[in-house]
Structure 1
């Protein structure tokens, strides 16, 4: 494989939100963890599942399906995956439903749609994987986190 063909490849994490297949650039995913104890945050947006303490950091945990306007009918289980993501120096956990695996996508196979031309759209394109359409997550839509709480100054045990 030539350097030129490698430059046309993107490694993505393929996952599922409800019945929707989604991919995110692997550069933004630090690791995948299981659900930890979440501290609820009063008067927060409905998509903020809570805060978790991980490696002495307080990290907001976002229900990605709810953030994208989907409803969650079932409560979280202990084995639900959380993508620990970093984007432009902000870190958050993103609750998803199922990890499908790592995929390498040729940039030429990404289909851009007029609906994806806005910064406000949650997706930047689509691609066909294993005969299913997968949407490519727009991290600009998820971050920056517009949560009206002071996460930087909150320490474990603070009320």
Structure 2
């Protein structure tokens, strides 16, 4: 556990969970080596979604249901912002069910995140045009409506707008 803390910068709790079994520790390290810039993300997925899926089916990490390289492929797509963390959960479920790679699931389901500013701006403008009352209230000082606009644009883009980009563009567009 101490080595995982030192080598990967993990919190002691995470290192303790991941070293509970030799198989789990080896699996985590294989994922972390494949996505070296994201040791904490790897820990979160191994301890969270992967462990939950294994427990649900009464499997252990050695069952081979989700090879480390396949999970690493998913984490790479989160890290390079091809998909958001939220969409990653949907991709993981499809990978778990089908045995397909993250890239294959993202491609076949059309889940690639929208990072094109012009496309996000078009969605923002459509939402603003459809919501004149909320826009007027927002501009009159009702800041809580910012979340309404985020939600509506996410809905319009099928949840695929890059969240950080969306927030930045909304902050520029909404005040008028």
Q: Taking structure 1 as the reference length, what is the TM-score of the superposition? A: 0.24
Which structure carries more strand by proportion? 1
Rg comparison, structure with higher value: 2
Which structure carries more helix by proportion? 2
